[in-house]
């Protein structure tokens, strides 16, 4: 903390001298991200840095308002259900990719087939796991066919970035993205920055900001110093203790839930008593108040916010009970044993701090904790490697579909990209809920799934944190509930 305060004070003085020139024009805004994109292919990785950039290069079939309501985007209207397992999508006419390829039904069908292809091995598959086929029925119409009824198919189309069928086959596609969005890709200087420029031929509302540069600054204190010095216009994951010191800040109750995934199939965490003890050992309220200064809420024993479909309000957080945790560790014969805890640094607000705090609590409960912090790309490899799962992996999960299916398919269900259990009973509940069209029955199935995962302690549920952004005086942006950084919605004062 002293290091960050020192950076802050130095930046204040520097900002005094730079203020006159830093905000003089708005030809370009600069955004500081906590991690560099691992790729600019919008369909392959589950990477927030990639999304922050590509959300402005690519369009989706549907989109959301800043408040979270689904509305048409590339689609001319909301999809229509034409049979229990088939949705019809009608697209807007006259839209082209930045390289001149047409955005039509064939392009959307291609994009769907690409992301659901098992050989493509997309980390985003949990968003689209119910889709089995797509077929063009006209130049601007297509059918999306699901594995049985799928009541949230429109929300899945909100996540579908449409890619150009020809250019996406280019070996350099992941380095030179081409979409239909309001900004065009210019350059990527690895380790330094990505530049985008306004798409002057954009089919929708013209963006007000001509160009944007993304910088990659892992250290939150360094991002803060850059904002105060006039180097950045927007920084992500602003430290809560500095919200009153920056030129402007925006905080929105976010979708992000920090959790620890516990390996229920092997190692020290195979023992249910150990997994429960790891939950009792962590003082989650202290994390919310001490690390986030109230900009977070204790997660209630589930990877869902109260506003998500499937939330079970009868399940509460494991209470903080360090004596009980110690006793359970001893009774399990695990006292003094080593548990591996994997995390990353800079991708999420106070991610490293949370990992180290949790490790401290676990050590107090009688375990040795091997904390391993990886650069984000390697961290993702370990998070999604189901063959050699670590004992415990920290992740901050966000659920832009606002429905239990996304979180549960990815992290709860056996075989999910981030799951560490082989619980077939839990998997069956999730599968049944996915295709249940009766809302009350579907809700009950998710309630059962929440309860079972809680009873089996497959995770250490931590918090639901707010998204906090620091902004320059000249930038206007209200924030969004889905955490998207859409430059098209920003303006300069």
Cβ burial of 53 (10 Å; 0-12, 13-18, 19+) is buried
Would 2-40+181-247+472-492 and 62-169 be classified into the same CATH topology?
A: yes
Q: What percent of the chain has pLDDT over 70?
A: 95
Maximal CA-CA distance, the chain: 68
pLDDT at 135 over 90: yes
Helix or strand or coil: residue 378?
A: helix
How far is it, in rounded angstroms, from Cα 166 to Cα 164? 6
What was the pLDDT predicted at 22? 40
Helix (H) or strand (E) holding 349: none
CB 468 within 8 A of CB 295: yes
Domain 256-466 CATH assignment equals 3.10.105.10: yes
Residue 10: is its pLDDT beyond 50? no
| DSSP code of residue 415 | T
Residue 208 has pLDDT above 80, yes or no: yes
Residue 19 vs residues 180, 244, 446: alpha-carbon distances, Å? 36, 18, 53
Give residue 46's Cα distance to chain centre.
Answer: 7
The rounded distance, in Å, linking the Cα atoms of 89 and 158 is 12
In the block, residue with structure tokens 């707010």: 466
Instruction: Provide the 3-class DSSP secondary structure of residue 96.
Output: strand
What local confidence, expressed as pLDDT, does residue 347 receive? 85
pLDDT given at position 143: 98
Closest CA to 57 of 71, 72, 37: 37
Q: What is the per-residue pLDDT across 15-51, written as a single tens digit (0 to 9) for each?
A: 433 333 343 348 999 999 999 999 999 999 988 899 9
Contact criterion met (CB below 8 Å) for 234 and 54: no
What is the percent of the chain where pLDDT is above 90?
Answer: 78
Report residue 247 as tokens: 């030129």
Mean pLDDT in residue range 190-201: 97
Residues 106-117 have a mean pLDDT of 98
Contact 337, 367 (CB under 8 A): yes
Note whether 87 and 153 are within 8 A (CB).
yes
CATH topology of domain 62-169: D-Maltodextrin-Binding Protein; domain 2 (3.40.190)
How many angstroms separate the CA atoms of 111 and 41, rounded?
12
Q: Cα separation of 96 and 444, whole Å?
A: 44
Instruction: Count CA atoms closer than 13 A to 422's CA, side-chain side.
Output: 6
Band (pLDDT 50/70/90 cuts) for residue 68 is: confident
Name which of 146, 108, 149, 109 is nearest 129 in CA terms: 146
CA–CA–CA angle 124, 129, 134 (5° rounding):
105
Q: Which fold has domain 2-40+181-247+472-492?
A: D-Maltodextrin-Binding Protein; domain 2 (3.40.190)
Confidence class for position 297, pLDDT limits 50, 70, 90: very high
**What was the pLDDT predicted at 470?**
96
Which pLDDT tens digit goes with each residue over 435-470? 888 889 999 999 999 999 999 999 999 999 988 999
Question: In the chain, what are the domain boundaries?
Answer: 2-40+181-247+472-492, 62-169, 256-466
What pTM value is reported for the model? Answer: 0.74
How many other CB atoms sit within 10 Å of the CB of residue 113? 14
Q: Distance (Å, rounded) from C-alpha 199 to C-alpha 132?
A: 34
Which of these, 197, 202, 167, 171, lies nearest to 59 by C-alpha position? 202
User: Which CA distances in Å does 142 have to 80, 192, 303?
Assistant: 11, 41, 34
Is the distance from CB of 419 to CB of 382 less than 8 angstroms?
no
Phi and psi for 10 in degrees, rounded to 5?
A: -65, -40
What are the tens digits of pLDDT across the range 238-279? 989 899 899 999 998 888 899 999 999 999 999 999 999 999
Residue among 230, 208, 87, 105 nearest 155 (CA): 87
CA distance 442 to 439: 5
Cα–Cα separations (whole angstroms), residue 215 to 109, 121, 287, 352, 468: 34, 28, 29, 20, 18
**Tens-place pLDDT, residues 339-382:** 999 999 988 889 999 999 999 999 999 999 999 999 988 998 88
For the record, the structure tokens of 361 come out as 């609590």
pLDDT of residue 222: 93
pLDDT, residue 21, reads 36
- For residues 49-74, give the mean pLDDT: 95
């Amino acid at each position: 903390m002293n290091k960050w305060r020192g950076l802050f004070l130095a930046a204040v003085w520097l900002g005094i001298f730079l203020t006159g020139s830093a905000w003089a024009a708005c030809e370009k805004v600069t955004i500081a991200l906590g991690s560099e994109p691992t790729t600019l292919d919008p369909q392959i990785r589950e990477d927030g840095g990639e999304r922050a950039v590509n959300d402005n290069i690519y369009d989706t079939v549907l989109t959301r308002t800043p408040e979270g309501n689904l509305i048409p985007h590339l689609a001319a209207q909301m999809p229509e259900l034409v049979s229990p397992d088939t949705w019809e999508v009608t697209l807007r006419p006259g839209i082209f990719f930045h390289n001149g390829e047409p955005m039509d039904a064939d392009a959307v069908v291609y994009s769907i087939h690409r992301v659901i292809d098992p050989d493509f091995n997309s980390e985003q598959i949990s968003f689209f796991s119910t889709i089995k086929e797509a077929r063009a029925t006209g130049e601007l119409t297509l059918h999306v066919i699901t594995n049985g009824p799928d009541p949230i198919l429109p929300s899945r189309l909100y996540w579908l970035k449409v890619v150009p069928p020809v250019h996406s086959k280019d070996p350099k596609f992941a380095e030179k993205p081409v979409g239909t969005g309001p900004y065009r890709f210019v350059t990527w200087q690895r380790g330094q920055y990505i530049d985008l420029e306004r798409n002057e031929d954009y089919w929708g509302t013209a963006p007000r900001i001509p160009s944007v540069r993304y910088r990659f600054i892992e250290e939150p204190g360094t991002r803060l110093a850059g904002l105060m010095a006039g180097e950045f216009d927007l920084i992500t994951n602003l430290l809560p203790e500095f919200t009153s010191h920056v030129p402007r800040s925006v905080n929105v109750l976010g979708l992000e839930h920090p959790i620890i995934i516990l390996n229920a199939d092997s190692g020290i965490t195979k023992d249910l008593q150990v997994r429960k003890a790891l939950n009792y050992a962590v003082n989650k309220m202290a994390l919310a108040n001490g690390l986030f200064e109230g900009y977070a809420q204790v997660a209630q024993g589930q990877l869902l916010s109260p506003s998500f479909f499937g939330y079970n309000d009868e399940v509460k957080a494991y209470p903080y009970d360090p004596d009980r945790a110690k006793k359970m560790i001893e009774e399990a014969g695990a006292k003094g044993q080593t548990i591996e805890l994997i995390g990353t640094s800079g991708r999420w607000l106070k991610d490293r701090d949370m990992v180290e705090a949790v490790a401290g609590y676990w050590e107090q409960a009688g375990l040795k904790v091997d904390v391993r912090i990886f650069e984000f790309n390697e961290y993702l490899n370990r998070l999604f490697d189901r063959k050699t799962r670590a004992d415990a992996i920290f992740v901050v999960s966000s659920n832009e579909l606002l429905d239990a299916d996304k979180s549960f398919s990815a992290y709860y269900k056996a075989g999910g990209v981030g799951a560490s259990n082989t619980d077939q009973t839990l998997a069956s509940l999730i599968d049944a809920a996915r295709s249940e069209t009766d809302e009350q029955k579907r809700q009950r199935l998710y309630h059962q799934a929440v309860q079972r995962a809680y009873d089996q302690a497959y995770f250490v549920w931590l918090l639901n944190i707010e998204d906090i952004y620091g902004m320059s005086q000249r930038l206007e942006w209200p924030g969004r509930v889905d955490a998207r950084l859409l430059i098209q919605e920003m303006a300069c004062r």
